[in-house]
Amino acid sequence: MNEIGNDAAAVYYAAPQRTRNADVEYQYRQDDNFLYLTGFPEPNAVLMLVPKGMQVRNPADTSTTMTVREILFVQPRNPVREHWNGRLYGPEGAMKLRGLEFALPIDQFERMLGSVMFRSRPALLYFPPFASDLTGEIATTLEPLQNFIDQTRIRNLATELRDPTAMVYRHRRVKSVEEIVLITKASEIAATAHRQAMMSCEPGMYEYELQGVYEFVYRKFGAEYNAYPCIVGAGENTVILHYNSVRRKINDGDLVLADCGAEYHGYATDVTRTFPANGKFSKEQRQIYEIVLRAQKAAIAMMRPGTSWSEISKKAADVVNEGLFALGLIKDKDGRSITDSSHTDSVTR
């Protein structure tokens, strides 16, 4: 609230539901920033933050008003919809279970937006850019906001428009104790899955069978989602970075690369491991594996507050280059073979 400022307002919206095919929808996954700010898992929801306050009717005495700084607009309870798709929190449930200051039905968003934006005229409005695939109920709900933004730009009104993404990221970058507990749990689930997959793997299996081991373990230990589509590749498929066909038979002598992570209560891990399908490395496989292992340990040893990701990445690359040079696989151990990156530098905290 302090960072938004008294003469400003911010609007955040839930991720849209996405259609898989016909009338079948993908499993719903909330927008990261919206989940961080609200903890609310449902679609068709909007959060409005106004640091200097908004006037709303007091639910305990509807003849009076009260001042609130945050309102979450959510779907109301609906027996027909809940019969098909499961229970909804509704405004009362959202306030009770999520600890939010105030909640209203989603159809009240337009009225409150008008009250805040057209009467108070804040000098600054934060809102996330509208996604190109923003469709369905949330798109309809946000039409008044889109109209206000369009009119502000066309008529050059005094309200400044700003993307809040960087502001939210600054808060998300430093994790609370509670968040670290959730990250640790996600990591433990992922580690359990990788160990189980290594024990289950044997020549003659198919990649998709091993992928199934990961996904079974994730669900068994409470992870709601994969952190990303689970990548399991054997043999020549190990060098395809985002391989997703997973139809090949795993042969004796193959290496298997598994890039699979778990997501637990909104917090995810990204874990990649390589292991021999038959449980035993060949001489050449072990040589390369041990180089990569040394690089990983060297990188982990550097991870402390104040160290940039580019420094850590360079250290790992140097260890790999030295190892490959020692094997005679590259001619220049000081080369740029794997140090270039398109990722933005960051600093560990």
Tens of pLDDT, residues 33-72: 999 999 999 999 999 999 999 989 888 888 899 999 999 9
The answer on 319 and 276 residing in a single domain is no
Q: What is the tens place of the pLDDT at every residue in 120-159?
A: 778 999 999 887 778 888 899 999 988 888 888 777 777 8
Range of the domain at 210: 175-280
Q: Which two tokens stand for residue 136?
A: 């369905």
Domain termination site, one of 245, 261, 280? 280
The answer on 255 and 222 residing in a single domain is yes
Asked if residue 109 belongs to a domain, the reply is yes
b/e string for 73-101 if b means 16 or more Cβ within 10 A? Answer: bbbeeeeeeeeeeeebbbbeebbeeeebe
255 three-state secondary structure: strand
Integer Cα distance of 180 and 176 in angstroms:
6
Task: Look up residue 12 and give its amino acid.
Answer: Y
The answer to whether 232 and 258 are in contact (CB under 8 A) is: yes
Task: Look up residue 249 and give its amino acid.
Answer: K
Ranges of residues in the chain with a pLDDT under 50 are 337-349
pLDDT score at 340: 45
The answer on 298 and 258 residing in a single domain is no
pLDDT score at 132: 74
pLDDT score at 341: 41
Residue 88, C-beta contacts closer than 8 angstroms, at least 6 positions apart: 42, 74, 75, 76, 77, 78, 81, 82
Domain termination site, one of 280, 298, 330? 280
The answer to whether 103 and 88 are in contact (CB under 8 A) is: no
Asked if residue 1 belongs to a domain, the reply is no
Domains contained in the chain, number: 3
Domain termination site, one of 150, 172, 194? 172
Could you tell me the CATH number of the domain that includes residue 150? 3.40.350.10
Task: Look up residue 119 and give its amino acid.
Answer: R
pLDDT score at 336: 52
